[in-house]
Amino acid sequence: MFARGSNIPVAGEAIGSHQTIVDGGATLEFKAAASIAVDLGQGVGTLALGDSADFTGIVKDFGAGDALELADIDFASASWSFAANQTGTGGVLTLVDADSATNLVLQGLYDPAQFSLTADDVGHTRVTYHDLIV
One digit per residue, the tens of pLDDT, for the chain of length 134 reads 778 777 888 988 888 877 789 988 999 999 999 999 999 988 899 999 999 999 999 999 999 999 999 999 999 999 999 999 999 999 999 999 999 999 999 999 999 999 999 999 999 999 999 976 54
Predicted TM-score (pTM) of the model is 0.92
Domain count across the chain? 1
Length reported for the chain: 134
The verdict on residue 134 lying in a domain is: no
d(CA 35, CA 13): 8
d(CA 7, CA 10): 10
First-last CA distance in the chain: 34
Range of the structural domain that residue 28 is part of: 2-129
Q: Residue 16: how many CB atoms within 10 A of its CB?
A: 12
The verdict on residue 113 lying in a domain is: yes
